Structure formats: C-alpha cells, structure tokens
Amino acid sequence: MASLLTVILNWRTAEMTLRSAEAAVAAMAGIEGAIVIVDNDSGDGSEDRLRRAVADRGWDRVRVIQSGRNGGFGAGNNVGIRAGLPDGLRPDYVYLLNSDAFPAPDAIRILLDHLEGHPRTGMAGSYIHGTDDVPHVTCFRFHSIASEFEGAAQTGPISKLLSHAIIPQPFPAKPTKMDWVAGASLMMRQDMLDQIGLFDEAYFLYYEETDLCLRAIRAGWQTDYIPASRVAHVGSASTGMKTWTRTPGYWFDSRWRYFRKNHGLATAVAATLAQLAGLGINRLRVALGSARRSGSPGYMRDLAVHDLRALVRGIEPASEHAPLSTVSSVTERTT
C-alpha cells in the first residue's frame, strides 16, 4: 500500500490550522501515512496551542514540529517534507494542504488514486472553491512575455489576440494536464521530488509552486488538475493578500527571480517592459473612463523601481525574508 505524508504549514492561524488538520485526518481514513503540522516560527503561541490540541484530540497520526525560522511557504513546507514519516521511512507521496483549506472526505484519496494510476504524473492538484462554494482559479499556464503584457493591459482586443498566453485557465470537467496548479491542495510524487529537488527557498511567497511545476515538466513529469478532488479554501488567511494596500517587496522579488532564473536576464527584462507597456495601456483606458486600474496603488512605479534595482545589482534578488540557505534542522518535541 502506498504511503502518504500530509504537510500543513501554520503561521499564526492555529485554530484554522486545527480545522484543516481535522478535515485531513478524516480524509486520510484508510490511507497509510501521517500528518505533520509545521509551525513556521509564528512566535504567537501557536506551536503550544497546536501541540496541546493534537494531544487532547488523540490524533496519533498527527505531529507538530517547529521550522525554527519563517522562511516562507516553500521553506516551511520543505521542513515538513524533510521530516518524513514518524517512523523515519520515506513516503511514496507528499500532500501539501494550506492551513486555511479543508478537503472533502474523498479529496485526498482521489488525488492518491490518480497518481497511482498515472506513473508519469508528478503532481496533482484539486478543484479549489471558497467556503461559499464559488470556484477559485486553480489552473494556469506558465508566465511569459506575452502573458505579462496581456494580464496588465486587460483589454478585449489584446486578450483575444494573445488568448494563447492567458495565464488563468477554464475549469475542466475531467482530469486535465496543466502547466501548473495552485499549491493550496497539491499532491506530489516523492520519486519526482528526489529527482528535481524541493521548493526553491529563495522564494518567500508566490511563484514557488510555479517554479516547481516548471522544473517538473522540464524533467519529464506531468502536472494534472483533478476536478473530482474538492477542497474548500478561505484564501490569504496568512498572507493577507486580500487586504493589501500595496504589493509587498517579496512579491516583486519572486516574480523577478522566476523569470531571471528560469528564462534568463533578457527575458526577465522583456517581461517587465511588456508588463509596464500593458499597464500604460490600462492607465490610458482608466483616464478615459473605460477600464478599472490594474494592480494595487503604486504598483506600476514599484515594479519599475524594483526591477531596475534588480537589474543594476545583476543578481537574482532574494527577499530578506528568504535566505538562500536551506533548512537542515527541525525542532520536535513530543505532544
């Protein structure tokens, strides 16, 4: 029987994380494996609350570990993946579940069965919907120069001309191959991770799952979207993205790094110029009263200044929150 390690990353959302873990415990019924909750150096008492709750509820298959630093989404999940199963054995599959995501009772089994039946599929993602049942955009194309222009301009004729480059994809009714899928509910084959490596920890937040899916495809693995696996998702519970008044620097760091690392300096520069050109079109249409403004306040200026500085530095920028070194130690206490 295949074994599965479920990883849930917590950062200052202890109560919601427990709700997520409770749903995961139920969804893992009959599946060999365990759940690890990684507290990403919350510093607010979350770790102790999680340990007490796990012990009080008698969740024998659940353990809580401490990452030791808040290195972001990828670094925190890497800590859980490296921790492995409690008996020290290597799992066959790893399932990442956001702390604000709640799988249906059969959601995990459906992903596992799909990967078991499709040996060249390295990753499988779920149908994500809000707690109000409204579907969340989950399926995507990879970012490109054309997609940067189209996404910023947001105008009908341009979107029609560049329809082949639009990043968000429609919701397929059956399992479908995708460039990349959202990381809120994502199952990965351990064999694939052994080959391509874990998340790049220089991404603090955003683009890390896109980067991983691109590395997987380049290594010959496939990423599939599985609509029958349904997961409710609050969204932005830890990042606060829904309430951003300004796009944070780490988002620009991640975007620049993705293009610079995976496509080279010339493409990174061209992608930024394409997005600025698209934003220019958008701002003109806003002035004419025919469009909504794309991006958060100050976004166009912040993008230009950030990427110019990155270009002058001549290096792939790493956020101050995401050092390049990998996490090599995990603190664990008995619950």
Residues 22 and 70 in one domain: yes
Tell me whether residue 261 is in a domain: yes
Whether 162 is in a domain gets the answer no
Residues 232, 260, single domain; the answer is no
* C-alpha to C-alpha distance for 334 and 63, rounded to whole angstroms: 8
Q: Are residues 13 and 102 in the same domain?
A: yes
Same-domain pairing of 57 and 178:
yes
Total number of domains constituting the chain: 2
The verdict on 212 and 274 lying in the same domain is no
pLDDT of the residue at 324: 31
Query: Do 9 and 126 belong to one domain?
Result: yes
What is the per-residue pLDDT across 45-97, written as a single tens digit (0 to 9) for each?
999 999 999 999 999 999 999 999 999 999 999 999 999 999 989 999 999 99
Domain boundary among 182, 217, 238: 238
Would residue 141 count as lying in a domain? no
In this structure, is residue 46 part of a structural domain?
Answer: yes
Quote the tokens at residue 294.
């794309």
Asked whether residue 111 falls in the same domain as residue 206, the answer is yes
- Taking the complete model, does pTM exceed 0.95, yes or no? no
Say whether both 280 and 222 belong to one domain.
Answer: no
DSSP string, 263-323: H-HHHHHHHHHHHHHHHHHHHHHHHTTSSPPPSSTTHHHHHHHHHHHHHHHTS----TTS-
Whether residue 126 sits in one domain with residue 53:
yes
- 306 lies in the same domain as 178: no
Domain carrying residue 267: 249-313
Q: Are residues 179 and 303 in the same domain?
A: no
* Assigned domain for 329 exists: no
pLDDT value at residue 315: 57
From 219, 238, 257, give the residue that closes a domain: 238
Which H or E run includes 112? helix 107-117
User: In angstroms, how far is CA 22 from the centroid of its own chain?
Assistant: 21
Is residue 44 assigned to a domain?
Answer: yes
- Estimate the crossing angle of helix 249-263 against helix 265-287, to 10 degrees: 130
146 within domain boundaries:
no
In this predicted structure, what is the pLDDT of residue 314?
Answer: 76
Are 32 and 100 members of one domain? yes
pLDDT < 70 stretches in the chain: 236-244, 315-335
CATH number for the domain including 115?
3.90.550.10
Residue 159 falls inside a structural domain: no
pLDDT in tens, 156-199: 999 999 999 999 999 999 999 999 999 999 999 999 999 999 99
For residue 241, what pLDDT is reported? 55
